[in-house]
Amino acid sequence: MQLLTIAAAIFVLGLLVTAHELGHFATAKLTGMRVDEFAIGFGPKLLSTKRGDTVYSIRAIPLGGFNDIAGMDPSNKPDDGSGFCDKSIPARMLVIIAGSAMNFILPVFLFFGVIFFNGYGTPSTEPVFGEVIEDMPAAQAGLMAGDRVLSIDGKPIEKWADFSKSLDGLSENQSVAITFERAGAVSTVEVTPMHEGSRNLLGVRSDSTIIHPGFFESIVLAVGRTIDFTTMMLSALADLIASPSHEAVSGPIGIAQMAGQAASAGFAALINFAALLSLNLAIINMLPVPALDGGHFVTLVIEGLRGRPLTPKALMYTQRVGVVLMLLLMIVATKNDLVRVLHL
């Protein structure tokens, strides 16, 4: 399982980093900038090859990547006008946002692949258990996935909505008699739902019907799913900013653990996790924080408004602030990961 977790984490992070850095790389080349190195990973080089002006490398630590674009430092720009700082502000903005843009685009392709090849589940209206959760009342009473509910307390159940409605209004510790069919045999069991607030829970989920849409419908669904999850993440981020909670932050260890859990559920689940993580990376990376792409974008906006770039001293201080903030965030994230993994 540890090997699966490591492999899944490397696959997911490698996919996201490659897409992100390809965005920067392609737009840099498109706008006439010289890219000295395109690297996946950090640390010592494992593999490298040179094509034209660019060295393409894979490095030992798979926790990121970078593009070494000439002229990012104005004091060390090339003489042929191919440096980052030589290009127009719109061109530089395009290069900066292209990485996050790719992390928004990638999930569309990933969701499309899952939907088109695997289909998607839609809740069935039939009163059939699709899942019975362990250690919940239904499982403790012996109910199983695939059981069809015929009646509750003698009242016929014809669809899932009838089943859900029959649990409404029960008082705490009130049991119900569930008559069900399994493999042609009819049985009845007494079940006492778990009372949680105003809800009565048995620990069951409805069955689902798998729908296999066509090519173009899959694209539409993938785009819609990407928009929906992006909206949800932005809302969650707004809530986190309004009510900060460091416990919600996860680092590389936590991501690796979640990747391993997703991989154990199947390749489709791992692809879905990669898509969600890609959206999360895109949103976080565009925050107006120095050292992130969003912070770099803001400095370009300021340059455009001022008519001249920030002074080297101002840039140095903003970058230092950004690095300190990122280090603090990494410390908090690593602490949270260790607490979760070691159950401290």
The catalytic residues are 21
User: Is residue 218 within 8 Å of 119, Cβ to Cβ?
Assistant: no
User: Is residue 287 within 8 Å of 296, Cβ to Cβ?
Assistant: no
3-state helix/strand/coil string of the chain: CHHHHHHHHHHHHHHHHHHHHHHHHHHHHHCCCCEEEEEEEEEEEEEEEEECCEEEEEEEEEEEEEEEECCCCHHHCCCCCCCHHHCCHHHHHHHHHHHHHHHHHHHHHHHHHHHHHHCEEEECCCCEEEEECCCCHHHHCCCCCCCEEEEECCEECCCHHHHHHHCCCCCCCCCEEEEEEECCEEEEEEECCEEECCEEECCEEECEEEECCCHHHHHHHHHHHHHHHHHHHHHHHHHHHHCCCHHHCCCHHHHHHHHHHHHHCCHHHHHHHHHHHHHHHHHHHCCCCCCCHHHHHHHHHHHHHHCCCCCHHHHHHHHHHHHHHHHHHHHHHHHHHHHHHHCC
User: Is residue 286 within 8 Å of 252, Cβ to Cβ?
Assistant: no
- Cα of first residue to Cα of last residue in the chain, in angstroms, is 22
User: Is residue 77 within 8 Å of 65, Cβ to Cβ?
Assistant: no
Sequence letter at residue 272: N
User: Is residue 112 within 8 Å of 214, Cβ to Cβ?
Assistant: no
The token duo for 94 is 């395009």
Tokens 């003698």 sit on residue = 154
